């Protein structure tokens, strides 16, 4: 579970241990549509992120977002003007964020080298996964802190499993609120969260997946990786009222056998679409395999697709639920 350390907005200067940073680069110019909310009020944010204390006395002005999840969160709270660069998309950026995304330099297709990262003169770095600060990333959180660069990891990607929150929409929204606070965009984050609450309530009322037993296939040809009870797929399936065939698997993802899938003979198969593992290849595998092609979902064309970025806990998860609901409604009876 997430540590009990809520975000605090303080007028007085605070202090924190470990990797806490103060005096992060100043806020951007106050131009229409780009200035942080509450820009005239004293700014101070203090929170604990993945067990690491973080203190900011000004919102980032030149942040780098290192995975699609955090890229879309920053863009969604209106902070594109506070980004110096982005890197590492899993699939296509959300359509409603394309224009904002196009205004920010792309540093690399995957993680940039440390040199390329530093050339962007960042004052902050965000990531969806700890790997961004690992051996193949831009440097450890400790190293970046020593250079005056603050860091933040999406709570669902904390390296220590004990620091990760339970997979709930409430915890997704807590993460969005943290990003909004970091960038001085509290009002924008609050509005976004309330809009998502409304959308989720509508999805739950419609129950497009009512009565449908679903296998959520993330990847793996020999031993399929499927959505379990503890992650984004479970939240999406619950939102549309569908039954997760592998809800007995407690973690976010589980490695199962094709024999288990065949025994379940699901009504629908969700294929996850990612740049490194396209849904089209998964569909082709299902249709070509002499055993799997006899599954009801395959025979009757009841295979649907959800983008990887909309299958992990984050700002795009509600879009994944809406996409799934719309596809289920179009399936043959």
**3 state SS for the chain:** CCCCCCCEECCCCCCCCCCCCCCCCCCCCCCCCCCCCCCCCCCCEEEEECCEEEEECCCCCCEEECCHHHHHHHHHCCCHHHEEEEECCCCCCCHHHHHHHCCCCEEECCCCCHHHHHHCCCCEEEECCHHHHCCCCCCCHHHHHHCCCEEEECHHHCCCHHHCCCCCHHHHHHHHHHHHHHCCCHHHHHHHHHHHHHHHHHHHHHCCCCCCEEEEEEECCCCCEEECCCCHHHHHHHHCCCEECCCCCCCCEEECCHHHHHHHCCCEEEEEEECCECHHHHHHHHHHCCCHHHCHHHHCCCEEEEEHHHCCCCCCHHHHHHHHHHHHHHCCC
**Digit-coded pLDDT (tens) for 122-174:** 999 999 999 999 999 999 999 999 999 999 999 999 999 999 999 999 999 99
**Digit-coded pLDDT (tens) for 72-89:** 999 999 999 999 999 999
Q: Which two tokens stand for residue 144?
A: 């970046």
What residues form DSSP beta bridges with 219?
225
Q: Which two tokens stand for residue 212?
A: 């449908």
Which residue bears the tokens 């699939």?
91
* pTM assigned to the model: 0.88
Phi, psi of 216 (to 5 degrees): -100, 105
- For each of the domains in the chain, give its residue range(s) and CATH number, in order of start: 8-197 (3.40.50.1980), 207-330 (3.40.50.1980)
What residues form DSSP beta bridges with 125?
64, 151
Going by C-alpha positions, the residue among 73, 59, 63 that lies closest to residue 30 is: 59
**Digit-coded pLDDT (tens) for 219-278:** 999 999 999 999 999 999 999 999 999 999 999 999 999 999 999 999 999 999 999 999
**Digit-coded pLDDT (tens) for 175-230:** 999 999 999 999 999 999 999 999 999 999 999 999 999 999 999 999 999 999 99
Kindly tell me the burial class for residue 194, based on how many C-beta atoms sit within 10 Å of its own C-beta (0-12, 13-18, 19 or more).
Answer: exposed
**What residues contact 202, with CB distance under 8 A and at least 6 apart?**
none
What residues form DSSP beta bridges with 217?
226, 271
Q: Which two tokens stand for residue 83?
A: 């980004």
């Amino acid at each position: 579970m997430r540590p009990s350390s809520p975000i605090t907005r303080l007028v007085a200067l605070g202090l924190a241990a470990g990797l806490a940073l103060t005096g992060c680069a100043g806020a951007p110019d106050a131009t229409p549509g780009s200035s942080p909310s509450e820009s005239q009020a004293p700014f101070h944010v203090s929170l604990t992120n993945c067990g690491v204390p973080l203190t900011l006395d000004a919102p980032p002005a030149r942040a780098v977002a290192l995975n699609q999840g955090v890229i879309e969160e920053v863009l969604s709270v209106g902070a594109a003007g506070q980004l110096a660069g982005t890197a590492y998309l899993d699939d296509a950026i959300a359509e409603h964020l394309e224009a904002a995304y196009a205004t920010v330099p792309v540093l690399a297709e995957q993680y940039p080298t440390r040199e390329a990262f530093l050339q962007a003169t960042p004052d902050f770095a965000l990531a969806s996964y700890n790997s961004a600060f690992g051996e193949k990333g831009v440097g450890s959180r400790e190293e970046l802190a020593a250079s005056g660069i603050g860091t933040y990891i999406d709570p669902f990607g904390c390296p220590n499993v004990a620091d990760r929150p339970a997979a709930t929409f409430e915890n997704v929204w807590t993460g969005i609120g943290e990003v909004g606070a970091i960038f001085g965009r509290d009002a924008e984050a609050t509005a976004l969260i309330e809009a998502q609450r409304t959308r989720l309530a509508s999805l739950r009322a419609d129950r497009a997946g009512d009565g449908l037993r679903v296998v959520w296939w993330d990847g793996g040809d020999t031993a399929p990786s499927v959505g379990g009870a503890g992650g984004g797929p479970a939240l999406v399936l619950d939102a549309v009222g569908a039954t997760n065939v592998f809800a007995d698997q407690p973690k976010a993802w589980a490695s199962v056998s094709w024999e288990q899938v065949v025994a379940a003979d699901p009504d629908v198969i969700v294929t996850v679409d990612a740049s490194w593992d396209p849904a089209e290849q998964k569909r082709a595998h299902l249709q070509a395999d002499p055993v799997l092609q006899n599954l009801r979902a395959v025979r009757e064309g009841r295979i649907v697709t959800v983008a990887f970025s909309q299958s992990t806990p984050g700002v795009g998860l509600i879009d994944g639920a809406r996409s799934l609901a719309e596809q289920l409604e179009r399936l043959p009876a």
